[in-house]
Chains A and B, each alone.
Chain A
């Protein structure tokens, strides 16, 4: 036998993943450009390209459309998809559960609770509709959402540093979700119809709530935090073996679990604060990453989940405002139609994944 021929993967497989990465990146770029070009007004790709390169084009309308709505939305979709895909992958590995996703930690429920405080309760208690104010309203919603998400994250971290298994964390996360939903239910019951409506709209999720500068800021943060997660790839590879095997291979399992929850929690919290709770992308994307790249190495999987997450979110953004539709569909309605079939097919042929 020839040892030199055998590295971590057969050579052809490594070529395959490199090719796949290039193809994925190309696809994400294509989807990004399509997002800028397609909509109720179609803009020729050449014009789009000009706007991106030079910041403007002779067509003032085109410039406005791209710079004011489509570019921010595409940037937000790119960052949010990447963050959610990676967070979902990390949590599925941590909990060894193919149905885990960013929502299982109760973080998006915490964010919902925070937003409910601002949107539903403030109108009742102080007689002013915070969310109605143009700038401060947005900021209040974002801040409340972030506060709720991080609050739940702190609780989960505190609990998981005290209990031994990951299963307990999973159950506590889900229970936190139920608790916040029930509090939100009480708020809704006593709220004005208009406030409930704006709360429901927030809960449907959206990629186009941010202006261009804020979208760039959000995209930068999301991509940077996502990229940092590759440093967790070795601990995640070991965690996939099971806690005791991981410990026997030198992993400080409790500390690693905290880091994974912290990382995935931050990603989820940031996305939820700026886009609302985005369903299904975090659950479906890790499965797509494992299906296409056929590896268990989290270094590859994290990058793959990031790219596929961005691609999926951009695709959903395009679908949500297909030509012919008067206004854009809520993003969560689209993600469910894209994500649910993926999850169902994975569960049906579970043995192979």
Chain B
């Protein structure tokens, strides 16, 4: 079952001067109990789309429905039971503890004075445990680290008990371990608790590994949706990152920097040592090619468990070292002191 549906949706703002359209003709579905990542470059309208789904902005055209109900026709009170949000807005409430923040998530269900029932208290406690912030429940929100604050806000969203949780860049401003932790938390909420999640992120690698589905938003194009693997097979990412210096490595399924190569060098060997050597050389614009026996300057990778690198000139080793750094500097020195055309076999196709 789909928890959220977009049909022919046009997002944008109505301002005093007129209407500013951000994206148009968006069609997508969001299956229940899955984690969906909305990807797109800055300025493509991710946040605008997210705000339209949350009901903060009215659709300029087309429809958004959550749990089968048209968002545009719902009051704030009705929306509060359908969608919970985690935003990039800074939360700075003087004196508020994590518990008090999370309990605000029960507001849609409490009465006029906001008095919490025992159910509300128990639900807020469960939400804090699920979000892994239980141990900090008595601390003030302002004393938390960025990652902990995100967990507290996720707990607030869980306490809201909505069928859909929408997060706007929950991993922004976090260091790598905290990003992974937040993504794993969201992943487990989907897999174990059946929560449906829609989030925007700039962490492509994490999104590809963690998301059930991706929505790719690109300027002036329809929304491309599908599982990360299907989108990779369709080469949907190539268009997204065209002309941006990033290439999608179809062997690893990862993104890497597109280096401008000016030289190349033959390397004999394989394994982790080869991967690292290739990276170090790529930074300097030197591309590795297979050793065919014809090249004068080449690198031999020896060793079984611990690689050892030998810079060879014909059959003579110039340097044998376990350090990639020393090997690379030896290669650069050797290239500088040699006439290239003769030893390096440089041809036009080496320049990409």
Contacts and interface: CB of A to CB of B under 8 A. Distances in A.
Nearest to B135: A1
A353 interface: yes
Given A248-B84, A250-B79, A296 B114 contact: no
Contact of A248 (B83, B121, B125): B83
Q: Which of B92, B101, B104, B121 has the most CB of A within 10 A?
A: B104
Nearest to A298: B114
Nearest to A242: B89
A111 B80 CA distance: 41
Contacts of A8: 99-100, 103, 116, 121
Given A1-B129, A234-B113, A351 B142 contact: yes
A98 to B, nearest CB: 8
A189 B20 CA distance: 50
Interface string B99-116: 111011101101011101
Interface string A1-44: 10100111110000000000000000000000000000000000
A252 B90 CA distance: 20
Given A233-B114, A299-B113, A245 B89 contact: yes
A128 to B, nearest CB: 48
A250 B80 contact: yes
Contact of B107 (A249, A253, A295, A351): A249
Given A1-B134, A295-B95, A247 B121 contact: no
Interface in A280-339: 290, 293-297, 299
A244 B81 CA distance: 15
A290 B94 contact: yes
A122 interface: no
A209 interface: no
A290 B95 contact: yes
A251 B89 contact: no
B2 to A, nearest CB: 21
A240 B129 CA distance: 24
Nearest to B77: A250
Interface string B64-90: 000000000001110111011101011
Interface string A223-263: 00000001101100110111011011111110000000000
B197 interface: no
B160 interface: yes
Given A8-B103, A241-B91, A234 B110 contact: yes
Contact of A240 (B79, B80, B93, B103): B93
B122 A249 contact: no
Contact of B104 (A7, A241, A244, A351): A241
A237 B85 CA distance: 17
Nearest to A294: B95
B263 to A, nearest CB: 53
B137 to A, nearest CB: 7
Interface in B141-166: 142, 160
Interface in B283-306: none
Contacts of B105: 249
A296 B96 contact: yes
B173 interface: no
B45 to A, nearest CB: 17
A245 B137 contact: no
A242 B91 CA distance: 7
B197 to A, nearest CB: 15
Contacts of A244: 56, 85, 87, 89
A237 B156 CA distance: 14
Interface residues of B, number: 45
Contacts of B81: 250
B270 interface: no
Nearest to B107: A249
Contacts of B110: 234
Contacts of B126: 3
Contact of B94 (A1, A251, A353): A353
Contacts of A231: 112-113
A253 B138 CA distance: 28
Contacts of B112: 231, 234
A249 B160 contact: yes
A248 B80 contact: yes
A234 to B, nearest CB: 3
B336 to A, nearest CB: 55
Contacts of A296: 93-97, 100
A6 B85 contact: no
Nearest to B168: A244
B167 to A, nearest CB: 12
Interface in A128-165: none
A247 B76 contact: yes
B87 to A, nearest CB: 6
A56 B79 CA distance: 62
A238 B91 CA distance: 11
Contacts of B83: 248
A353 B95 CA distance: 6
Nearest to A238: B107
B54 interface: yes
A245 B126 CA distance: 21
Given A6-B99, A9-B99, A249 B114 contact: no
Contacts of B54: 248
Given A295-B95, A351-B142, A353-B94, A249 B125 contact: no
B83 to A, nearest CB: 7
The 3 closest A-B pairs by CB, nearest first: A250-B80, A234-B114, A296-B96
Interface of B: 54-56, 75-77, 79-81, 83-85, 87, 89-97, 99-101, 103-105, 107-108, 110, 112-114, 116, 121-122, 125-126, 129, 134, 137-138, 142, 160
28 contacts: A3-B121, A3-B125, A8-B100, A8-B116, A234-B107, A234-B110, A237-B107, A238-B107, A240-B96, A241-B101, A245-B91, A248-B54, A248-B56, A248-B79, A249-B80, A249-B107, A249-B160, A250-B76, A250-B77, A250-B79, A251-B76, A252-B77, A253-B76, A290-B95, A295-B95, A296-B93, A296-B96, A351-B142
Given A3-B126, A8-B116, 10 more contacts: A3-B121, A6-B137, A8-B99, A8-B121, A242-B90, A250-B81, A251-B76, A251-B107, A294-B95, A351-B142
